[in-house]
């Protein structure tokens, strides 16, 4: 397992700290290392200037006292403010507060006077209540003055497990330790954290298996070894045959998906389309085969061919009984099937019929609106996606700027490379096509979903402004070429 992109929740990080202490590193030393990492990161990015360090009553505040002391020792002008009474500090936080030789002011907006940088060491990732009182007022004043904030662990008011805000204000830089948390990469947390630096404070990587991580940030290191490889003795059939159910009158969605599947490596790609739409599809496709379908029996006969290795239904399909019938027909084969768009919506009044039909690898790719038609929307995004995968027995790709991919056994991958330019019509259809093409070649479905989402984002980032969905398939060869060069 690739542990480099592990995301640890608050409980797992607390356990990592506990195990590190058991292994012989004191909590006082861990706190010293954390504060030193913050001070070092600040000095690497800015020249000496006035800093106000806002400390809270717990370990996050202790990290702040260490950073304040080391910045002052380096000649920086430092003011320290504390939420609460110094006498109420305990343990390592009290130890490091006692090492601070300067004055400690009450936490309020006056401590910001003259500050060029503010260090937010008030609350860490475990906060579960909204910011209020002087904390909320002081941080609001920082934002109003537009002073850059360096947050320790997470911006105060950001929930580490979910990325939800309880009143957090945006930081310019966040310094966290050992591994990121889900809240660093889920929205709105990712936007509130600014630049994120992960510092080594002495927690050994050898502890990771004991923490049983189940959440990861999407990265090629997770799936690159599973990418389909070309064989000199292979042929188009060994590369897999992808089948897409095309709709009418909306034909563009399925056509873009088909081109994406072919560019992603499917040896053959076929569009099964209504007979009336055959001329439209045939005129637009060259290497993509088009099969006219007059009645459902024609479609079912296609599925009797075992050489079709992956299926897609939904893009441009229409919310019709025909779409429902075709989706169920594909699922009955037990072969890898992607359901997107209308093929999800058509089951909004009978989700159990869909879930009961899933007997093989199935990937559902809803955006938030489509997700709400099938699944419970209570809870944070990561929890909702996990519950949906468990309840449906499908892999869930819950799309967005922070797409979450969840397996049926609870493993989750959060994607972070999607640029805003992907907010364009048809981009989701291309994503489904990329996934279909990888599945056609026999790639593990969960890893294929993560790879497709990452490749989709990478292609969009490469193109830049002005992107439309039709641009994406032709960018895939360059993305794949660089990926294969790393294998």
The Cα-based distances of 198 to 174, 313, 326, 382, 417 in angstroms read 9, 41, 48, 22, 18
Residues 6 or more apart whose CB falls under 8 angstroms from that of 438 comprise 227, 228, 264, 265, 448, 451, 452
| pLDDT at residue 211 tops 80 | yes
Domain parsing of the chain, residue ranges:
10-213, 220-486
- Establish whether domains 10-213 and 220-486 are of one fold: no
What is the dihedral angle through the alpha carbons of 44, 49, 50, 51, rounded to the nearest 10 degrees?
-10
In the structure encoding, which two tokens stand for residue 331, read together?
A: 């699922």
- Cβ distance 410 to 390 under 8 Å? yes
Give per-residue pLDDT as tens, 332-373.
999 999 999 999 999 999 999 999 999 999 999 999 999 999
State the pairing for strand pair 215-217/195-199: unpaired
Give per-residue pLDDT as tens, 425-450.
999 999 999 999 999 999 999 999 99
Give per-residue pLDDT as tens, 266-301.
999 999 999 999 999 999 999 999 999 999 999 999
CATH superfamily name and code, 220-486? Ribokinase (3.40.1190.20)
- Cβ distance 314 to 341 under 8 Å? yes
CATH fold for domain 10-213: Rossmann fold (3.40.50)
Give Cα 463 to chain centroid, integer Å.
21
Query: Percent of the chain scored above 70 by pLDDT?
Result: 100
| Residue 167 phi, psi dihedral angles, 5° rounding | 115, 10
Give per-residue pLDDT as tens, 73-125.
999 999 999 999 999 999 999 999 999 999 999 999 999 999 999 999 999 99
- What is the structure's pLDDT at 487? 83
| Residue 68 phi, psi dihedral angles, 5° rounding | -60, -45
- Name the average pLDDT for the chain: 97
Q: How confident is the model at residue 46 (pLDDT cuts 50, 70, 90)?
A: very high
Residue 306: other Cβ atoms inside 10 A: 9
Look at the alpha carbons of 163, 91, 65, 15 in this order and tell me if their dihedral is positive or negative. Answer: negative
- Output the pTM of the full model: 0.96
| Residue 95 phi, psi dihedral angles, 5° rounding | -55, -50
Residue 50: other Cβ atoms inside 10 A: 16
Q: How confident is the model at residue 1 (pLDDT cuts 50, 70, 90)?
A: low
In the structure encoding, which two tokens stand for residue 466, read together?
A: 């002005």
How many alpha carbons lie under 13 Å from residue 455 in its C-beta half-sphere?
Answer: 37
| pLDDT at residue 331 tops 70 | yes
Q: Which residue from 343, 236, 335, 322 is spatially nearest to 277, judged by alpha carbons?
A: 322
């Amino acid at each position: 397992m690739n542990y480099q992109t592990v995301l640890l929740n608050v409980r797992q990080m607390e356990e990592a700290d506990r195990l590190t202490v058991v292994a012989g590193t004191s909590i006082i030393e861990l706190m010293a290392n954390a504060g030193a990492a913050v001070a070092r990161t600040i000095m690497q990015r800015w020249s000496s200037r006035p800093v106000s360090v806002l400390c809270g009553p717990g370990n996050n505040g202790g990290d702040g006292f260490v950073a304040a002391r080391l910045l002052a020792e380096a000649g920086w002008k430092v003011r320290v403010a504390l939420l609460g009474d110094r006498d109420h500090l305990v343990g390592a936080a009290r130890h490091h507060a006692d090492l601070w030789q300067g004055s400690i002011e009450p936490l309020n907006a006056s401590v910001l006077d003259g500050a060029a940088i503010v260090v937010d060491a008030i609350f860490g990732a475990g906060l579960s209540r909204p910011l209020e009182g002087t904390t909320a007022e002081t941080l609001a004043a920082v934002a109003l003055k537009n002073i850059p904030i360096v947050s320790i662990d997470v911006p105060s008011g950001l929930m580490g497990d979910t990325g939800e805000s309880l009143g957090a204000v945006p930081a310019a830089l966040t310094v966290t330790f050992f591994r990121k948390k889900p809240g660093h990469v889920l929205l709105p947390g990712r936007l509130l954290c600014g630049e994120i630096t992960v510092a080594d404070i002495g927690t050994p990587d050898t502890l990771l298996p004991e923490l049983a991580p189940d959440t990861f940030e999407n990265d090629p290191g997770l799936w690159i070894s599973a990418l389909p490889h070309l064989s000199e003795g292979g042929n188009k059939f060994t590369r897999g045959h992808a089948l897409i159910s095309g709709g009418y009158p909306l034909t563009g969605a399925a056509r873009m998906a088909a081109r994406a599947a072919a560019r992603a490596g499917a040896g053959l790609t076929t569009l099964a389309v209504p007979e009336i739409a055959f001329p439209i599809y045939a005129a637009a496709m060259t290497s993509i085969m088009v099969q006219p379908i007059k009645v459902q029996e024609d479609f079912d006969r296609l599925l009797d061919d075992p050489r079709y290795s992956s299926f897609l239904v939904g893009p441009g399909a229409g919310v019709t009984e025909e779409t429902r019938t075709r989706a169920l027909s594909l699922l009955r084969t037990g072969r890898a099937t992607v359901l997107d768009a209308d093929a999800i919506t058509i089951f909004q009044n009978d989700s159990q019929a869909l879930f009961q039909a899933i007997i093989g690898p199935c990937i559902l790719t809803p955006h938030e609106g489509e997700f709400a038609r099938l699944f419970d929307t209570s809870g944070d995004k990561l929890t909702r996606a996990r519950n949906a995968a468990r309840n449906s027995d499908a892999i869930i790709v819950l799309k967005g700027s922070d797409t979450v991919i969840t397996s049926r056994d609870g493993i989750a991958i959060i994607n972070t490379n999607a640029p805003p330019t992907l907010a364009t019509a048809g981009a989701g259809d291309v994503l489904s096509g990329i996934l279909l093409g990888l599945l056609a070649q026999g790639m593990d479905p969960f890893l294929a979903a993560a790879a497709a989402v990452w490749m989709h984002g990478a292609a969009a980032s490469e193109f830049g402004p002005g992107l439309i969905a039709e641009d994406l398939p032709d960018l895939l060869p360059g993305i794949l070429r660089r990926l294969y060069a790393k294998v």
